[in-house]
Structure 1
Amino acid sequence: MNDTAVSETETDYSATLFLPQTDFPMRAGLPGREPNWLERWERMDIYARQREDAKDRPLFTLHDGPPYANGNIHIGHALNKVLKDLVSRSMQMLGYNSAYVPGWDCHGLPIEWKIEEQYRARGKDKNDVPVVEFRQECRRFAEEWVDVQRAEFKRLGVIGEWDNPYLTMSFDAEAQIARELMKVAMSGQLYRGSKPVMWSVVERTALAEAEIEYQDYESDAIWVKFPVIAGQSAGGGASVVIWTTTPWTIPGNRAVSYSGKVEYGLYEVTQAPEGNWAKIGDKLILADKLAAEVFAKAKVEAYAKLRAVSSDELAGTTCSHPLKGLAGGYAFAVPLLDGEHVTDDAGTGFVHTAPSHGLEDFEVWTENGRNLAQRGIDTAIPVPVAGDGFYTADAPGFEGARIIDDSGKKGDANQRVITALAERGAMVARGRIKHQYPHSWRSKKPVIYRNTPQWFVYMDKPLGGKLADGSDMDTRRQEAIARYGEDSLRSRALLAIEETRFYPIAGQNRLRAMMQDRPDWVLSRQRAWGVPITVFVDKKTGEVLKDETVNHRIAQAFEEEGADAWYKEGAAARFLGPDRDPSDYEMVTDVLDVWFDSGSTHSFVLRNKQKWPHLKFPASMYLEGSDQHRGWFHSSLLESCATNGFAPYDSVLTHGFTMDGEGRKMSKSLGNVVAPQEIIKQYGADILRLWVASSDYSEDLRLGKETIQTTVDSYRKLRNTLRWLLGNLAHYEAKDAVDFADMPELERLVLHRLAALDETVRAAYKEYDYKRLVAALSNFMNVELSAFYFDIRKDALYCDPISSVRRRASLTVLNHLFNCLTAWLAPVLVFTMEEVWLERHREEGTSVHLRLFPEVPAEWRNDALAAKWEKVKAVRRVITGELEIERRNKIIGSSLEAAPTVFVSDPVLVAAIAGIDLAEIAITSAITFGNAHAAPVDGFTLPDVPGVTVVFAPAQGRRCARSWKILPEVGSDPEYPDVTPRDAQALRERKAAGL
């Protein structure tokens, strides 16, 4: 068939053709139609139907990492939720009971901050509001956004238990979070210590590493002299020089660190400008590699190295503080300590060490505690900076100065310190440096390291305890000791990482590296909206109270009243009970880091069989963005290893971030934010889903106008293929289906491809390789079907007689194609495949999403047949290549106007095309085979198909008025003189059937 117009002398036989018939629209209209399918699924309660159908199948549980309930979803949320839906739906269709319970993170600073903003706008002070009332306002705020986000997630086509989600603020969840915390406390892993932690002055709370992002920041850089007062390197008034980008930490200095691996020297300034900070005669100890750079910064015109200074000399050296005497303070000695963190890559080769303001500083100070005490040095760690960013009395002379103000801007602390150092002759040089500096990912404001009392979980303390099933952890302990030499939270977490499957595998290395080096886990936050750290501390001993009866009272109260019970009047007496005096105990008021909340979800979701019987623990998979290696993956692993001894997941899948079309991070300031709501409004959710599935989610994903248009074009091609299928299947009747053994080779070839694709599709879904899946199906539908099989079989499907085995076999194959393709694409194009499926299956209660992937008969697979047809296709390409030239030259308009001569000299190709109707395959009216040895030298050939030559010749005979083939036998049937004998037979059969 072709589209050549019917001449005036011919009868119009178009009504006698089996042309495609379907109401399935070419234009998708997804934005308007998709909500109808959502309503239908709601009426059907399709999720409950899936659970009922799959109740006896093995469980697959993708545990939802909870998004934060404080705003509309963004494109990162959409990417994440669509990926989860792809996993959940495909595993359901692969034969699992794949339930999906969505959840929300409801506690924490972002929500608390929003309520405080509302207070400030009304001139209201949070401190004047009872804490329980404030918490209730936070709860209402979170509830509102849960409802908003739930609707937005459902609009993406995500299926799940939306009417029964988990919320970290539900009473049962708060009770279980408290239980998990109390398990940690009872096992001796919880302790209160004083350590430098990331502190947000703006938000007035400690932050975890997962709550930090690094941004460009300009800092003051200073080089400062610490005068040597004792040691072999004193050498006539020498000074050790340090470099720092945080001048405000100098009041907290207690030591200077050096490295035994760095080479140092004693240098003397021999020439310098008048009034320079570094003066002629100054003797400075510096790393040899950095001396020239330091003197350049100090504007020193000439200097000389007096001698080398060994690490042994430095080990016995003590300095005085550069602020000594200021406001009567800083009179203590400043020892030099060997530190592994010191290098000669930048600075001076010496590191100013303030144990109040840095983890490495803290560690080197505490590691040397015994030695320092023996030298008569006070090892107490000061608290020079308060939570509001102001200096305390531990920073004499600087009271009233501030490091960062409430808006996140720099205070006057740096300049005050620099001025004081200069007045004492301690400055060597100063400058400015742009570098990556930690900021709170919520307020986007810089943070500081600050020594505060916090609650921690030991990473390296030997563990004991019970497994989740109540059995001893002896086996786990032995495994950890055998592999890592110790049984600790760190070793168990590392062991769990080795046992977990990662997609992509690089995620394993990343999480392992983080776990190997991380400090003790800080759990406490100085806020109000969260689950409190439900422990009591004995005021006399400082020990945490370990009493299961008290713990039970707390958990029971939380089950009934929520965590607000901790803040109600008389709570201490209520929980401690009649046998304990509340005045003997401190009731901790800090709240838990929200990462502990979400890290505990496995305990109140996966193991809550009463509420969610179709979930399993450990989960089959946790799936989140790559930032969650330091977030939810990390905290969940630690929490479960602390309370269960192993990971809460069998596998971890990580996706990248969403960038704009040019690879830039999306931001409102750049105006390049792509909102999922806008894509859905203009194109539909299936377009967004297809973009996700077509992308390499292991990397950062780009999304811009060009990407969206490419996805729309891909979708349109898939839709048109399915529409053509539907149109032709209007003529399919199951009773006329042809058995596989009776099918022509071309049909058996297509079924072979279906069998091969079945393996590809199942493997891609099992390996979560959706890009491979979409590419394979798109290529099959666009190239192998639309451009090859459908193109060839249009003539038979439209024109063959009713009794034709060829036509019936093709319809049978189309039915198989329909059944496979609608199922294989259902997890991706959830709305479109439902629409396609219901075009043929209109009965109430049916859905493509209640199906499994169809079982493909093994007999369909025929690699030898496929290899043969690759050769047939090669010959066909040479023929169509020649016809395309004739079409371009306007010699022909349709390939049916051609009857080329084909010369095949390659015996392998001759064998392949033997018995094949090459005219049918090349869609010409006829083909003549010439003597292979007489192929003309000017015939058409293709370099990659040697041994095949094609010479064009026009088709001979009359044109069939029904099929438009040009053949000599047209007119040979007296009853139908203007059609081919085949078409005449088709017309007789239609007439006999009353059509």
Structure 2
Amino acid sequence: MTDSLTDRDYRDTLFLPTTEFPMRGGLPQREPEWIKRWDEMNLYKWLRADAKSRGAKPWILHDGPPYANGHIHLGTAMNKIVKDIIVRSHQMTGHDAAYLPGWDCHGLPIEWKVEEEFRSKNRGKDDVPGDEFRAACRAYAEKWVEIQGREFRALGIEGEWDNPYLTMKFESEATIVAEFLRMAMQGALVRGAKPIMWSPVERTALAEAEVEYYDRKVPVIWVKFPVTGRDDDASVVIWTTTPWTIPANQAVSFSPDITYGLYTVDSVMSEEELGFAPYAKAGEKLIISDDLAKAVMDGAKVSAFTRVSDVDPTGWTLKHPLSEMDAFFAHPIPMLAGDHVTADAGTGFVHTAPAHGEDDFNVWVESGRTTQEIRQIVDADGCYTPDVPRFGGMDIIRTSGKKRGEPGKANQEVIAALAESGNLLARGITTIRDAHSWRSKAPVIRRATPQWFISMDKPGPNGKSLRENALAAIDATEFFPAVGRNRLRSMVEGRPDWLISRQRNWGVPITIFVDKSGQPHTAALPADQAQALNETIKAAIAAGGVEAWFSTPKEDFLGAHGLNADDWDKVTDVLDVWFDSGTTHAFALRERGIIDPETGQADLYMEGSDQHRGWFQSSLLECCATRGMAPYKQVLTHGFIVDSEGKKMSKSIGNTIEPEQIAKQYGIEILRIWTASGDYTEDLRISDEIIKGSVESYRKLRNTVRYMLGALDGWTDAEAIEARKMPGLERWVLHRLSELDEQVRAAYNVYDFKKVMSLLINFCGVDLSAVYFDVRKDSLYCDPRFETEEVWDGDTANFGNRRRAARTVMAAVLERLLTWLAPVMPFTMEEAFLESHLKGSVASVHLLQFPDTPVGWRDADLAARWEKIFTVRRVVTGALEVERREKRIGASLESTPRVLIADESLIEAFKGEDAGDLFITSGAELVHSSTSEGGGFTLDDTPGVVVHPVKASGVKCRRSWKYFDPATADPAFPDITPRDALAVKAWDAMHD
């Protein structure tokens, strides 16, 4: 103790926050260290063991498998982060939330990349033996599984990374085969030659989920089909944007609901007017829809025309427009009535090539004609077959070279032939939105080829069709957002049969043998014999993978069951890769025993909204076909990432941001906060400025946690006091924690992370930093520190309990913030946990549960009272801010405001509280008054509260800086307040 009390430096007696937790996170450097720590301690196994020790019920988010090709991007990073937040939050709310990552390893995306590698070595796909090609595909997928696994792990994603599920594992491939054969045995498998989307560049069928739609310019032609049996040489006119399909024409469709007329061309525009000679000729007789006659004549450059009569095309037969060119085209063209024909555009008649259009195919079959009669004159390369006169070998789309994907020779040659025949009425250019392969970006064509389908409408084992079962399952599923149900439902309601065959090398084979009548062995053989053959097939795949099917002679499979191999053909097509991913529930969940035993379902499937037509649907159809139910209880979808202007991210326009870029500059924690803070169910915007907003949110949250760690220096549970013994402000904070506990749990439960972050950021910024910490800073730093529940007799503020109460409350707040924020900010909350009083309880913050909230903390009446206090405090704070701005005071402690309050209940709310402490002033006077006493500070939204910011009198305490009446001072400590004197005495006693 110094000789002169007035010269004493009281700084040593203050209880200032002390912590090793740094102000800056240093995330780019520290995050890899935390991941290394978790891997070394095998945190994931700890989580599983902890859940089992608690008897926790399993909760399963099933990971949709990304393709194992290429580095992850911002979209895949966001996807995995959302999943991780979901899994972590469910683990910390009492569940056993396992996370098994997986990969899709077969299919076109990987095969296409491997083809490119071989092409770079001057080896075309057909030059590479199948076994070598498949081995290269498997090696390629293995490489990217390893790379992507590291990249996903770097995002802080916790899961079973040492044993992920892969569709190319032998056991997975065997299960996929088993699921397929199970469907085939139930009679769902059918073979047909329907027109499907075909990629000439990739030489395979494509599903809807494998195409994207882009605008492209195409030729448009109006073509005359001469009517047979009439003496006026009239022609029916059709319109098409696919001239190349004219050689495949087998009918013209019309609608009984459209009125048609016979028109005579009176005159056409001159060559001088047009700069070219029109194809239309004066005197021609044309049959077209009355509603479209003017548009057709304008397109044909007809300057005058006359409607001659009504016509009814029912029962007519036409000539093919190229029938005079070669006998190959001299077949009759029937007129077929079709519901798809409208008078919205074209001519009112529809050129019908059943091999190249779904509507064309349907109207052909519905007319009683067979699929065997369909002309298939386009080969797998998108070229006319050699037997087609004049056009044999011509390509529709260029499949190689620098102009790959551009139009081939077919369109222009067909147009030229039509012009020569005299049956080209007009031509032009238009823009259509058409399907392109999402891999090669080249246009696709519609082409009828023999393919395998899963029937959507054939009755299954339960008497209902796959479509009916799937729609019922959709109705029983919960969707987030709810509009997902309608979207998926509409797709299933209108979808055709599921095309499951692909003409590729790298995939799970369609493991069936077909007899000479075209029947698969699952239908042609007795059930027990077919099932025995199935078991042999599955065993071969389980032992040798998909290669076993292709490399094993059919005799080895069939001979073992007394079947003559000469009577059967082995199918070499592979399954649609969506079938692979649709069966993941079978080998990734069921066979690993991580699925709800009561329902046989995963709790949640979560992917991008595009998966309504992809994985959500293929999984639904496969599981409904094999088990009559959906594989999931809930479906959650996220949107996509766009730039600050809402534009899709594209490397070509330079607006992309890579996860690695954010990790190096800011840290993955910032990306996680950005993901959680926005409405990820819609498209999320990102830019440097938006990311900086997430950095600011991180800074506020980190500083809040850091302040509490410092304020709780030396805290032990022995210091805690009961809520009933706490001052009102502390009990209000406990009430807020009770409210937040309910709100945060509810928001996590429905995957509303934006609400979680909004609640917690607002709580930290307003309730804590702007109110509680601000008010209690004086108490934490300056109140006496007692190790027992002693109180300062006669002081209504109960100084002895106040500091302990504040630290007790802060301990409760810190524990909740650490756990509530851990799913979103796993790195920072782990760091803070290891600096906190909780660190000895478990090895990691992620092994904690959200703390239970005592029932007694909720106090609505208390909250209402404090709302009134805060109403008055807000006006006082505003008044003091003006005083500081005008430099009439330096700090709020230099004032003892006089507050005039019209509503007496607002004054009553302060009963038992020290208004000066709450206002952070050296005192305060609350006066019931309805007058303003000559002015004062007011807020428009708070009438009846007027503040006069009176300058504080007395002397300034050299320890707490409060102004006080020196007459009240302890004679031994005349320069500090009595409260501070008591604190110094206590400090001296402890340090003697």
Question: How many residues in Structure 1 have an aligned counterpart in Structure 2?
Answer: 956
Matched, 1:109 2:108: yes
**Residue 514 (str. 1) matches residue 491 (str. 2):** yes
Which residue matches 2:794? none
The alignment status of 1:866 with 2:863, answered yes or no, reads yes
AA aligned opposite 1:297: G
CA distance 1:222–1:108, shift in 2 (3 Å): same
Cα pair distance change 1:912/1:254, threshold 3 Å:
same
1:206-263 C-alpha deviation (Å, 9 max, x unpaired): 1111101111211111112222225xxx683332222211111111111222233334
| Distance in 2 (alpha carbons) for counterparts of 1:317 and 1:33 | 80
Q: Within 5 Å, give how 1:621-660 maps onto structure 2.
A: 621-660=604-643
Counterpart Cα distance in 1 of 2:77 and 2:592:
29
Shift of 1:431: 1.6
Find the residue that maps to 2:72 and give its secondary structure.
coil
CA drift of 1:555 comes to 0.5
Q: Which amino acid aligns with 2:507?
A: G
Describe the superposition over 1:633-677 as per-residue Cα deviations: whole angstroms up to 9, x where unpaired.
111111111111111111111111111222111111111111111
Q: How far apart, CA to CA, are the structure 1 residues paired with 2:674 and 2:98?
A: 24
In the alignment, what sits opposite 2:180?
A: 181
Corresponding residue for 1:405?
398
Task: Report the counterpart of residue 33 of structure 1 in structure 2.
Answer: 30
The alpha-carbon deviation at position 631 of structure 1 amounts to 0.6
2:575 maps to amino acid: L
Select between 291-300 and 822-831 the one with higher mean Cα deviation.
291-300
Query: 1:954 corresponds to which letter in structure 2?
Result: K
Aligned-partner SS, 1:976: coil
Instruction: Describe the SS at the equivalent of 2:536.
Output: helix
Counterpart-to-counterpart distance in 2, 1:526 and 1:67: 22
3-state DSSP of counterpart to 1:431: strand
1:924 is matched with 921
AA of the residue aligned to 2:373:
A
Query: Any residues of structure 2 matched to 1:278-289 within 5 Å, and which?
Result: 278-289=280-291
> Which residue is equivalent to 2:297?
295
Match of 1:491 in 2: 468
1:836 corresponds in structure 2 to 832
Amino acid at match of 1:848: V
Select between 930-939 and 25-34 the one with higher mean Cα deviation: 930-939
Verify: 1:963 aligned to 2:965, yes or no.
Answer: no
Q: In terms of mean alpha carbon deviation, does 315-324 or 164-173 score higher?
A: 315-324
Q: 1:756 to 1:725 in 2, by over 3 A?
A: same
Counterpart in 1 of 2:789? none
Q: Is the 8 A contact 1:99 1:614 kept in 2?
A: no
Question: Where do 1:142-541 residues align within 5 Å?
Answer: 142-230=141-229, 236-274=232-270, 275-309=277-311, 313-369=312-368, 380-393=373-386, 395-406=388-399, 407-464=404-461, 473=462, 477=463, 487-540=464-517
Aligned counterparts of 2:840 and 2:268: Cα–Cα separation in 1: 94
Name the amino acid aligned to 1:138: C
Q: Does 1:672 align with 2:655?
A: yes
Give the distance between the partners of 1:290 and 1:10, measured in 2 at CA.
Answer: 103
Partner of 2:791: none
Question: 2-side partners of 1:31 and 1:415: how far apart?
Answer: 58
CA distance in 1, matches of 2:928, 2:458: 87
Q: Which residue of 1 aligns with 2:792?
A: none
CA contact (8 A) 1:970 1:981 kept: no
Q: Which residue of structure 2 lines up, in the alignment, with residue 467 of structure 1?
A: none
Alpha-carbon distance in structure 1 between the residues aligned to 2:553 and 2:372: 40
1:812 maps to a residue whose letter is T
Aligned residue for 1:750? 733
Change (3 A) 1:325 1:613: same
Paired residues of 2:907 and 2:928 also in contact (CA < 8 A): no
Choose the corresponding residue for 2:893, options 887, 893, 896.
896
Q: Would the alpha carbon gap of residues 735 and 569 (structure 1) be closer, same or farther in structure 2, given more than 3 Å must change?
A: closer
| Displacement of 1:611 | 8.6
Residue matched to 2:126:
127
**Residue type of the alignment partner of 2:260:** Y
SS of 1:449's equivalent in the other structure is: strand
Cα distance in 2 for residues equivalent to 1:657 and 1:342: 37
Q: Tell me how far 1:109 sits from its aligned partner.
A: 1.6
Displacement of 1:600 in angstroms is: 0.8
Seen in structure 2, the aligned counterparts of structure 1 residues 611 and 929 have a Cα distance that, compared at 3 Å, is closer
Whole-angstrom distance in 2 between the partners of 1:496 and 1:833 = 40
- Once residues 563 and 21 of structure 2 are traced to their aligned partners in structure 1, the CA distance between those partners, rounded to angstroms, is 75
Q: CA deviation at 1:623?
A: 0.6
Distance in structure 1 (CA, Å) of the matches to 2:765 and 2:597: 39
CA displacement at 1:195 relative to structure 2: 1.3
Contact 2:554–2:565 (8 Å) recurs in 1: no
Please show how residues 697-736 of structure 1 align to structure 2 within 5 Å: 697-736=680-719
1:774-814 Cα deviation digits (max 9, x unpaired): 11111111111111111111001111011321111010000
Aligned-partner Cα distance in 2 for 1:934–1:513: 67
Are the equivalent residues in 2 in contact too, given 1:252–1:395 (CA < 8 A)? no
CA offset digits 1:343-371 (Å, max 9, x no partner) = 2222222221111111111111111125x
Identity of aligned residues (%): 53
* Aligned partners of 2:224 and 2:238 also within 8 Å: yes
Residues 658 and 666, structure 1, Cα contact 8 Å, conserved in 2? yes
CA shift in 2, pair 1:993/1:191, >3 Å: same
Does the aligned pair in 2 maintain the 1:255–1:336 contact within 8 Å? yes
CA separation of 1:626 and 1:613: change in aligned 2, threshold 3 A? closer
Q: Secondary structure at the match of 1:755?
A: helix
254-263 or 158-167, which deviates more: 254-263
Which stretch shows the higher mean deviation, 612-621 or 283-292?
Answer: 612-621
Is residue 693 from structure 1 mapped to residue 676 from structure 2 by the alignment?
A: yes
Greater mean deviation of Cα atoms: 221-230 or 892-901: 221-230
Question: Do the aligned partners of 2:554 and 2:570 also contact (CA within 8 Å) in 1?
Answer: no
Would you say the 8 A contact 2:177–2:508 is kept in 1? Answer: yes
Task: Give CA-to-partner distance per residue, 1:509-528, whole Å, 9 cap, x none.
Answer: 11111111111111111111
| Structure 2 letter corresponding to 1:387 | A
Contact 1:899 1:926 in 2 (8 A): yes
- 2:795 aligned with 1:789: no
Q: Which position in structure 2 is the counterpart of 1:798? A: 781
| Residues 512, 520 of structure 2: 8 Å contact kept | no
CA distance in structure 2 between the aligned counterparts of 1:594 and 1:288, rounded to whole angstroms:
48
Tell whether the 8 Å contact from 1:690 to 1:829 is kept in structure 2 after alignment.
yes
**Equivalent-residue separation in structure 1 for 2:926 and 2:514 (angstroms):** 97
The amino acid of 2:513's aligned partner reads: F
Deviation digits for residues 858-877 of structure 1, max 9, x if unmatched? 11111121122111111111
Residue 810 of structure 1 is matched in structure 2 by: 806
User: Which residue number in structure 2 is paired with residue 468 of structure 1?
Assistant: none
How far is the alpha carbon of 1:572 from its aligned partner?
Answer: 3.8
How far has the Cα of 1:54 moved from its partner? Answer: 1.2
Q: For 1:558 and 1:543, locate their aligned partners in 2 and report how far apart those are by CA, in whole Å.
A: 19
> How far off its partner does 1:615 sit?
12
* CA distance in structure 1 between the aligned counterparts of 2:116 and 2:656, rounded to whole angstroms: 25
Look up the SS of the partner of 2:939 in the other structure: coil
Partner SS state of residue 369, structure 1:
coil
Q: By how many angstroms is 1:882 displaced? A: 1.0
Amino acid at match of 2:728: E
Aligned to 1:988: 985
TM-score (norm 1): 0.93
Provide the TM-score with structure 2 as the length reference: 0.94
Task: List per-residue Cα deviations over 1:442-496 (Å, max 9, x = no partner).
Answer: 11111111111111111111111xxxxxxxx4xxx4xxxxxxxxx1111111111
Q: What's the Cα RMSD here?
A: 2.0
Partners of 1:125 and 1:933 in 2: how far apart? Answer: 93
Aligned 8 A contact 1:896 1:966 in 2: yes
